[in-house]
Amino acid sequence: GESVGLHLPTLSVQEGDNSIINCAYSNSASDYFIWYKQESGKGPQFIIDIRSNMDKRQGQRVTVLLNKTVKHLSLQIAATQPGDSAVYFCAENRGGTALIFGKGTTLSVSS
């Protein structure tokens, strides 16, 4: 079935670099997208969200970009820190109660 997927299972960066984590989705009906951070042994932690009527949204050190033409979502983390090391998931809401999650990208930040 259709699902949200991520391009790379792992991403390794140096402290201070900018990180970009990508996600592709297939359902044009999806109207809401969220990025979550999950540290080992913990539940997903909300980072930032974006609705389908927007192209870009910024938070503290994070930016989400939505390209509906190619069904692509990205998370940019500025000045990546060791504490950013975690698994990052994108998720979509297709207008129902459930969030559909992708498989996740493991971000490793070395100092």
Q: Which residues of the shown chain bind another protein in the complex (CB under 8 A)?
A: 4, 32, 34, 36, 41-46, 89, 91, 93, 95-104
Is 70 or 98 the residue whose CB approaches another protein more closely? 98
Q: Which two tokens stand for residue 57?
A: 């949204």
Is 78 or 87 the residue whose CB approaches another protein more closely? 87
Q: Which two tokens stand for residue 48?
A: 């930032």
| CA distance linking residue 1 with residue 85, whole number of Å | 30
Q: How far is the CB of 14 from another protein (least distance, A)?
A: 25
What SS3 class is residue 41?
Answer: coil
Q: How far is the CB of 87 from another protein (least distance, A)?
A: 9
Residue 64 contacts by C-beta under 8 Å, 6 or more apart in sequence? 33, 35, 48, 49, 50, 56, 57, 73, 74, 75, 76
Q: How far is the CB of 15 from another protein (least distance, A)?
A: 26
Is 44 or 80 the residue whose CB approaches another protein more closely? 44
Q: How far is the CB of 97 from another protein (least distance, A)?
A: 4
